[in-house]
Amino acid sequence: MTTTIDTAFDAVTADAVSAAAEALAGRRVAVLTGAGLSTDSGIPDYRGKGAPVRTPMTVTEFLSSDASRRRYWVGSHLGWRAFAAAAPNAGHRAIAELEHRGIANGVITQNVDGLHVRAGSRRVVELHGTMRRVFCTHCGQVFDRRDLALRVERDNPWIRVPENVALGPDGDVLPESTEGFRIPECTVCGGMLKPDVVFFGEFIPAEKFREAEQLVHTSDALIVAGSSLVVNSGIRLLERARRRRLPVVIVNRGATRADARATVKIDAGASEVLSALVDVLPAPA
């Protein structure tokens, strides 16, 4: 099969996209995405070129310190509206279209922004959870984040969310002050609330990782889009694909931990490349 990529890519990138299309043609594909896919939606990543150095809160800090939880909830609330208002971009829509055409089995994402769901993807494995939900660490009650935001503003009427915020990768903002902030509690038992996300230093739930493994296991190829693969969960899934000798296509601006293990590496924007692949990939027989 000879594939012509009619895009504005430079010659090297166009050749790489053509090689990726050749490797993926006629196969059922699993897609693994990272923060680099959501940068076109205005959500920054941790490790991309030009990203500022950030020290994310660890699960130990969050669970063990009132001061840390106060800092987290103030910053998270200040960034929530901008984070929730982010819209799916062409990359999210391309992945949803690949699924609708029967080319993609589904998407595994390291992102917590929910943009794959909003783009129309039906099978989404959110490895690191979602910012859409909050749960009580004591009784397990689950709350919608939108409802919690209203409660935070009711309990802290002095809070003023700025129109323009320097949004962090997980939707947070570095607060100038946390003094006087009332930390939200569970309305059922008064217990500690935690966003339904995997913090740094926290393990991915075993059942969630098994779901991701199953998606890779039932696919014939793997696309990694917008991830530097620094997080071990991504590398583990890539190795599952390699052990079965499946083609692996990595699309990311800059180097990743697995470039040498890829069938094809494309150093370009995920949105542009995925959109190009939608135009040329045939559905599996």
Question: Within a domain: residue 216?
Answer: yes
pLDDT for 11-59, tens place per residue? Answer: 999 999 999 999 999 999 999 999 999 999 999 876 555 545 566 789 9
Are residues 278 and 94 in contact, defined by beta-carbon separation less than 8 angstroms?
yes
Which alpha helices (DSSP H) does 110-194 contain, by range?
115-119, 145-155
| The predicted structure's pLDDT at residue 53 | 54
Does a structural domain hold residue 285?
Answer: no
Asked, for residue 48, whether it belongs to a domain, the answer is yes
Catalytic center residues:
128
CA dist 217 and 140 (Å) reads: 31
**AA letter at 143:** F
Q: Name the DSSP class of 38.
A: T
Q: What is the domain extent for residue 196? A: 11-280
- Give the number of domains in the chain: 1
Does some domain include residue 4? Answer: no
Kindly report, residue by residue over 226-281, the tens digit of the pLDDT.
999 998 999 999 999 999 999 999 999 999 999 999 999 999 999 999 999 999 99
**CATH number of the domain to which 65 belongs:** 3.40.50.1220
Residue 181 pLDDT > 80: yes
Q: Considering the entire predicted model, what is its pTM?
A: 0.91
